[in-house]
Amino acid sequence: MTKGPTILLGVFALLLLTLLVGKLHESDNRADPTEDAPSHGSPPQTNGPELPTTATTGNPAHDILVALSPANQARALAKSAGEGCVGTQAFFMGIDPKDLTAYWSVRCTNGRSYEVAIAANDTGHSEVADCDVLKAVRISCFAKLDSQ
């Protein structure tokens, strides 16, 4: 598989994740038993402004990823990495303060590891790098960015 389809597959996986989390959030909101109660002419009761259910780092795809379980983070990142990766461990490396790109790594069952850089835009465009290649330039995929 070439890099272009791999990146597109990663973007598709993150968009699919975005839609799934959105649908789950909508179904949670509909589960409110008071929603179908008769109104009796009074305005609905509110408890103040609705708080976000995920972090707001300025990187929407990263915020969704953070809200997932570790196993689902590994699955999502593995789909972005492609290359036959079945994710076993996800690791958050950090966010670049200049452009809010989020850097994650994923370990795969085939012994390979990949860094996934997730852009801070509406599509969550991602770029993937093999951790063995990054190791050659002294970047460790399983260490925080600020410690390298």
Instruction: Determine the Cα angle at 55 with ends 53 and 56, to 5°.
Output: 115
Q: What is the pTM of this model?
A: 0.64
When comparing pLDDT for 16 and 83, which is higher? 83
Residue 87 structural domain: 3-19+55-147
Residue 148 has a pLDDT of: 81
Residue 94 has pLDDT above 60, yes or no: yes
Given a cut of 50, is residue 85 above it in pLDDT?
Answer: yes
Give the tens place of pLDDT for each residue, 111-122.
999 999 999 988
Overall average pLDDT of the 16-45 stretch: 44
Q: In the predicted model, is pLDDT for residue 36 greater than 60? A: no
pLDDT at residue 133 greater than cutoff 80: yes
Q: Is residue 92 part of a domain?
A: yes
CA–CA distance, 22 with 114 (Å, rounded to integer): 27
Q: Is the pLDDT of residue 80 over 90?
A: yes
In a domain, 114, yes or no: yes
Place of tokens 């509110």: 46
Evaluate whether residue 61 is within a structural domain. yes
How many domains are there within the chain?
1
Question: What phi, psi does 130 have (nearest 5°)?
Answer: -70, 130
CA–CA gap between residue 68 and residue 22 (Å, rounded): 12
Residue 69 within any structural domain of the chain? yes
**C-alpha neighbours within 13 Å on the C-beta side of residue 13:** 23
Report yes or no on 26 lying in a domain: no
